[in-house]
Amino acid sequence: MLADVGLKGNEEKQLINSYAIFSGLKFKTTSYNHEGSPFYLIITIYFGSLNEDSDKVGESPSAEKA
């Protein structure tokens, strides 16, 4: 069973040329506090437009709306 133990630091980055560099990330707790269970880092990548005018992921801001 997976449990969110949280991270400290900047945990959101934009991909630039297919890269995102994270520095100073730390778990908020230790495996000692979780009966020695190992921790796994799960990374989720969201792909979409950063433009607020778009309603759908990847939609061009100039696309006609029905």
Domain presence at residue 60: no
Report the pLDDT averaged over residues 10-32.
85
Nearest Cα to Cα of residue 7 among 46, 44, 41: 41
- Owning domain of residue 46: 1-52
Please give the model's pTM, rounded to 2 decimal places: 0.46
- Residue 22 in any domain: the answer is yes
Question: Does 62 map to a domain?
Answer: no
Q: Which residues on adjacent β-strands are paired with residue 26?
A: 8
In a domain, 29, yes or no: yes
User: Amino acid identity, residue 50?
Assistant: L
The answer as to whether 57 is a domain residue is: no
* Cα–Cα distance measured from residue 41 to residue 54, given in angstroms and rounded to the nearest whole number: 31
Answer for the pair 59, 53: CB distance below 8 angstroms, yes or no. no
Going by pLDDT thresholds of 50, 70 and 90, the confidence category of residue 66 is: very low
- Domain tally for the chain? 1
Kindly state whether residue 64 falls inside one of the protein's structural domains.
Answer: no
